[in-house]
Structure 1
Amino acid sequence: MQKDTDNSTPPAATRRLAKADRKRQLLDTALLIVREEGADRLTLGHLAVRAGVSKPVVYDHFATRSALLIELYKWIDTERVDAFRDAMAKTTLGLEETALILADAYIQCAANHTDEFHAVGAALAGSEEKSAVFQELLDNCVQMFVTVLKPQAAPTVSAAELEIRCIGLIGAGEALSGALVRGRHDKDQMIASFASLIRGALR
């Protein structure tokens, strides 16, 4: 277990924020630490220093480093899933374009092991909490797929059936991304194949 050895003193004057706003500020700062210094540097003490708050303020939101990592892991994923869903809701695209954009976004994101999401996930490796959190994030992704693909689905595809098919699509996307990471196939080929699977699932 990594010890909190950062004894730097934060600035004396810290602006008071509502609890939700403070948590958002701490998560924003934690993300910056991972991006600029790496996940290993993300400790509760170092977060307090970078955020300009006292350690008790950080401990009030995150009891342990693992709790912080889990919250950050969930937050990063939720933010990008919501952003993609909102962006797609503002456009009126046909099935071909929707499937290709969704496939491209999913494969690119899942296969990018250099981003903050994967860095935080790697820091959580081996923890009992990670599997439960990962399942929660997969469920969120399924609901995003349902929202984006519902307007494109054939009238004969019920809401319950669409959700089941989206669960299958997420599984396929994970497998394709894994194969891409292992260097088995070309990225464009993987995206095209996943888009084809998406289109087929809606008919």
Structure 2
Amino acid sequence: MHCYVTVGPEWLAILAALQGDSESEAVAQELQDRYVTIYRNALAPFSSLPPRELQRRCVAIIGAAEALGRELFRGRLDEPAAATTLASLIVAWLS
């Protein structure tokens, strides 16, 4: 969540800009794929999930992180609450 706070509300504009055309969407997808790989590799030692299931859950975790980031920028929750929420989701999904 700290990354979202560090980038600031511009992050939402960056995401929107990447959805403007097929080339930009390809870049956005590549970024998401990289984040999923980072999360999957970091979480794999702590999970007994089959690799494909862990991959899917990492996609969902990133989606949840993005949604929580939007809530941060809208002032609907603070960084500690967003981080706690995301952490609880990750722990629950790896159990």
TM-score, normalised relative to structure 2: 0.83
Report SS of the residue matched to 2:75: coil
Match of 1:146 in 2: 40
Paired AA for residue 197 in structure 1: L
Q: Does structure 1 residue 121 correspond to structure 2 residue 10?
A: no
Unaligned runs of 5+ in 1: 1-106
* Residue identity (%): 35
Aligned-partner Cα distance in 1 for 2:75–2:24: 26
Match of 1:30 in 2: none
1:196 pairs with one of 60, 63, 88: 88
Check conservation: 1:180, 1:186, Cα contact below 8 A: yes
Check conservation: 1:111, 1:178, Cα contact below 8 A: no
CA shift in 2, pair 1:127/1:168, >3 Å? closer
Check conservation: 2:5, 2:79, Cα contact below 8 A: no
Match of 1:183 in 2: 75
Q: Does structure 1 residue 168 correspond to structure 2 residue 41?
A: no
Instruction: Report the CA distance between 1:109 and its aligned residue.
Output: 1.1
Instruction: Report the CA distance between 1:150 and its aligned residue.
Output: 0.2
Aligned-partner Cα distance in 1 for 2:68–2:20: 25
Aligned-partner Cα distance in 2 for 1:151–1:113: 29
Deviations 1:74-99 (A, max 9, x none): xxxxxxxxxxxxxxxxxxxxxxxxxx
Instruction: Report the CA distance between 1:147 and its aligned residue.
Output: 0.2
Paired AA for residue 42 in structure 2: V
Check conservation: 1:146, 1:162, Cα contact below 8 A: yes
Check conservation: 1:142, 1:167, Cα contact below 8 A: yes
Superposed CA RMSD in Å reads 2.4
Aligned-partner Cα distance in 1 for 2:38–2:5: 18
Structure scoring higher RCO (CA < 8 A, sep ≥ 6) equals 2
TM-score, normalised relative to structure 1: 0.41
